[in-house]
């Protein structure tokens, strides 16, 4: 083991020693009857991989040979339909809970809790690690409760104690950690002796999201570079599994959280043309506005914004159309503004202060848009081979993962019947 890998593993174990729940006896549930894992007497193992911002059609850019090979060999969905709002934390947490954002409570990347006045944002390390923001039961909690060990590396929510449980192995999010080091850490976790070895692991790569925000979603050298980075990381993982003779025992579920739309500096809405942003109390900006005006300003703000711009739909939170599936949670802002595909909403000060902004890619828009469609590839011994399926919503995946791991799912919004789209029957 190289020194750097050893240090990473030691750091991960140290974090666990400092903060992880004591893992129960590592007996674990039996493998799913008829599965390859059961046949070989092994515990099933699943690696959930997120390629943030990888739009469903980025495979067609022709620069991701490993992902294309896995898509052709396993189950490949036409696209994964994200949940609204099509942002990172809401959707990652939907995938691991089977609940929509309005059900699990991570209703945006930037949230105000109206009860406490506290704020959540991705850069607020304290909030990201605070279990009170996370509703539902993430799959690593389901698995740890069943006696498995888990290692959800960098998955949103994985740093928090949720329902009194922390994953056996986790690491504080570090966007600078190299993709290869992330892959090697996961492989080292798989090399642990059986009682310590995790059965559920995750990988997270932000490169494509970064690249597509910057260069936009159309084919370009910059986006191709980012796509190449994540493709090589997945290739490194697959090779590492093959070298360890694990490729027949480990399942891979490769997803993204949302797609990406091209933005333009000619498609920008300036909020101060209609209301005073201070009075509107903007908690979340483009392309979805989250407004928490005080009660005395709320009506006037709503009236001033409703119908004011043809590319910005404004709703009181009770009136958000059903198709968004975004109602019923107290953290949904009093007034929500939804920009049309490819539009941005900001202030002139922000716009003029950043000449490179609003001219690349963005996401957050309505989840049914083609541009917001995400990636879904399932590959490994549990999954069907060479199978194309139609578009599927991301909250169905929690049940699929539970089935692969032989876990009893917690309450969730997924349709259990969708599991059959993915799983290989024993005879296949
Ligand atoms: P978004 O623009 O909604 O796709 O957010 C993407 C950004 O989320 C990434 O560039 C990361 O900086 C950030 N992010 C991803 N995972 C985490 C995490 N576990 N903790 C904090 N920030 C994260
Ligand atoms: Zn994202
Ligand atoms: Zn993004």
Residue 193: CB atoms within 10 A of its CB come to 7
What span, in angstroms and rounded, lies between the C-alpha atoms of 94 and 316?
Answer: 24
> Residues 43, 129: one domain?
yes
What are the backbone dihedrals phi and psi of residue 411, each rounded to the nearest 5 degrees, phi first?
-55, 130
> Residues 291, 222: one domain?
no
Q: Describe the strand order of the beta sheet including 335-339 as a list of residue ranges.
A: 282-284, 288-291, 335-339, 312-316
In a domain, 227, yes or no: yes
Among the bound ligands, the one closest to the CA of 217: 3
DSSP string, 110-176: SEE-TTT--EE-TT-HHHHT-GGG--S--HHHHHHHTT--EEETT-TTTTS-BTTB--SS-----TT
Residue 278: CB atoms within 10 A of its CB come to 10
Q: Give the three-class secondary structure for 414.
A: coil
Give the pair of three-digit tokens for residue 141: 């909690």
**pLDDT for the residue 247:** 81
Cα(12) to ligand 1 centroid in Å equals 20
For the CA of 159, the closest atom of ligand 1 is: 19
Give the pair of three-digit tokens for residue 81: 């339909």
- The residue whose C-alpha atom lies closest to atom 1 belonging to ligand 1 is 88
Residue 10: CB atoms within 10 A of its CB come to 10
**pLDDT for the residue 18:** 34
> Residues 227, 341: one domain?
no
- The residue whose C-alpha atom lies closest to atom 22 belonging to ligand 1 is 122
In a domain, 427, yes or no: no
> Residues 272, 145: one domain?
no
Residues 6 or more apart whose CB falls under 8 angstroms from that of 146 comprise 28, 29, 407, 408
Domain final residue pick, 342, 359, 376: 359
- Helical H segments across 122-178, by residue range: 125-128, 139-145
> Residues 50, 175: one domain?
yes
- The residue whose C-alpha atom lies closest to atom 23 belonging to ligand 1 is 122
Among the bound ligands, the one closest to the CA of 205: 1
Q: Tell me, what DSSP letter sits at residue 398?
A: H
> Which structural domain range is residue 351 located in?
268-359
Q: How far is CA 378 from CA 63, 197, 336, 350, in A?
A: 19, 22, 35, 41
Longest dimension (CA), the chain: 66
Which residues, in sequence order, are bridge partners of residue 253?
Answer: 48, 378
Of 52, 55, 154, 217, the one to substitute when testing ligand 1's pocket (max ligand atoms within 8 A of C-beta) is: 52
**pLDDT for the residue 118:** 98
Cα(26) to ligand 3 centroid in Å equals 37
**pLDDT for the residue 24:** 33
What span, in angstroms and rounded, lies between the C-alpha atoms of 66 and 45?
Answer: 21
> Residues 330, 411: one domain?
no
> Residues 240, 102: one domain?
yes
Supply the CATH number for residue 173's domain.
3.40.720.10
What span, in angstroms and rounded, lies between the C-alpha atoms of 199 and 175?
Answer: 24
Cα(12) to ligand 2 centroid in Å equals 24
Of 206, 211, 213, 257, the one to substitute when testing ligand 1's pocket (max ligand atoms within 8 A of C-beta) is: 206
pLDDT tens-digit profile, the chain (428 residues) = 333 343 343 344 434 433 333 233 333 344 454 444 444 457 899 999 999 999 999 999 999 999 999 999 999 999 999 999 999 999 999 999 999 999 999 999 999 999 999 999 999 999 999 999 999 999 999 999 999 999 999 999 999 999 999 999 999 999 999 999 999 999 999 999 999 999 999 999 999 999 999 999 999 999 999 999 999 999 999 999 999 988 889 999 999 999 999 999 999 999 999 999 999 999 999 999 999 999 999 999 999 999 999 999 999 999 999 999 999 999 999 999 999 999 999 999 999 999 999 999 999 999 999 999 999 999 999 999 999 999 999 999 999 999 999 999 999 999 999 999 999 987 66
Among 37, 109, 30, smallest CA distance to 331 is for: 109
Q: Give the three-class secondary structure for 232.
A: helix
The tally of domains found in the chain comes to 2
Among the bound ligands, the one closest to the CA of 256: 2
Cα(424) to ligand 2 centroid in Å equals 30
* Strand-strand pairing, 75-77 and 376-379: antiparallel
Give the pair of three-digit tokens for residue 315: 């709703």
Supply the CATH number for residue 351's domain.
3.30.1360.180
In a domain, 426, yes or no: no
> Residues 330, 183: one domain?
no
102-128 core/surface letters (b: 16 or more CB in 10 A; e: else): bbbbbbbbbbbeeeeeeebeeeeeebb
In a domain, 290, yes or no: yes
Cα(8) to ligand 3 centroid in Å equals 27
Cis preceding linkage at 161, omega within 30: no
Burial (CB < 10 A; 0-12, 13-18, 19+), residue 26, is: middle
Residues 13 and 217 sit within 8 Å (Cβ to Cβ): no
Question: Which residues are marked as active site?
Answer: 88
For the CA of 87, the closest atom of ligand 1 is: 3
Angle at 319 between CA 316 and CA 325, to 5 degrees: 115
In a domain, 294, yes or no: yes
Ligand 1 neighbours, Cβ below 6 Å, are: 52-53, 87-88, 109, 122, 128, 154, 156, 173, 175, 204, 206, 209-210
């Amino acid at each position: 083991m190289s020194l750097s890998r050893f240090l990473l593993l030691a750091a991960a174990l140290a974090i666990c020693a400092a903060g992880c729940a004591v893992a129960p006896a590592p007996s674990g549930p039996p493998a799913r009857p008829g599965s390859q894992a059961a046949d070989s007497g092994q515990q099933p193992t699943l690696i959930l991989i997120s390629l943030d911002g990888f739009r469903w059609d980025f495979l067609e850019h022709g620069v991701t040979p490993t992902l294309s090979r896995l898509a052709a060999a396993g189950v490949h969905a036409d696209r994964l339909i994200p949940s609204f709002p099509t942002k990172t934390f809401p959707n990652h947490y939907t995938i691991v809970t089977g609940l929509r954002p309005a059900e699990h409570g991570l209703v945006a990347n930037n949230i105000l809790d109206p009860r406490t006045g506290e704020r959540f944002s991705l850069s607020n390390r304290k909030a990201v690690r605070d279990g009170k923001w996370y509703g539902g039961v993430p799959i690593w909690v389901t698995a740890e409760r069943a006696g498995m060990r888990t290692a959800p590396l960098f998955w949103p929510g994985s740093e928090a104690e949720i329902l009194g449980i922390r994953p056996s192995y986790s690491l504080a999010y570090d966007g600078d950690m190299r993709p290869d080091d992330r892959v090697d850490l996961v492989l080292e976790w798989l090399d642990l002796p059986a009682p310590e070895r995790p059965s559920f692991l995750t990988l997270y790569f932000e490169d494509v999201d970064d690249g597509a925000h910057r260069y936009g979603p159309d084919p370009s050298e910059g986006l191709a570079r980012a796509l190449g980075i994540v493709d090589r990381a997945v290739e490194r993982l697959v090779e590492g599994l093959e070298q360890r003779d694990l490729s027949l025992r480990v399942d891979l579920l490769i997803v993204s959280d949302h797609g990406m739309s091209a933005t333009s500096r000619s498609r920008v809405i300036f909020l101060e043309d209609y209301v005073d942003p201070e009075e509107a109390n903007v908690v979340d900006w483009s392309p979805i506005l989250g407004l928490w005006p005080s009660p005395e300003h709320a009506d006037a703000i709503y009236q001033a914004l409703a119908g004011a711009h043809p590319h910005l739909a404004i709703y009181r939170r009770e009136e958000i159309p059903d198709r968004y599936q975004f109602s019923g949670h107290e953290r949904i802002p009093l007034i929500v503004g939804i920009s049309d595909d490819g539009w941005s909403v900001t202030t002139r000060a922000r716009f003029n202060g950043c000449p490179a902004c609003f001219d690349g890619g963005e996401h957050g828009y309505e989840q049914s848009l083609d541009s917001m469609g995400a990636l879904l590839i399932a590959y490994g011994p549990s999954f069907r081979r060479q199978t194309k399926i139609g578009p599927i919503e991301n909250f169905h995946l929690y049940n699929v993962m539970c089935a692969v791991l032989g876990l009893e799912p917690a309450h969730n919004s997924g349709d259990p019947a969708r599991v059959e789209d993915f799983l290989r029957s024993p005879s296949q």
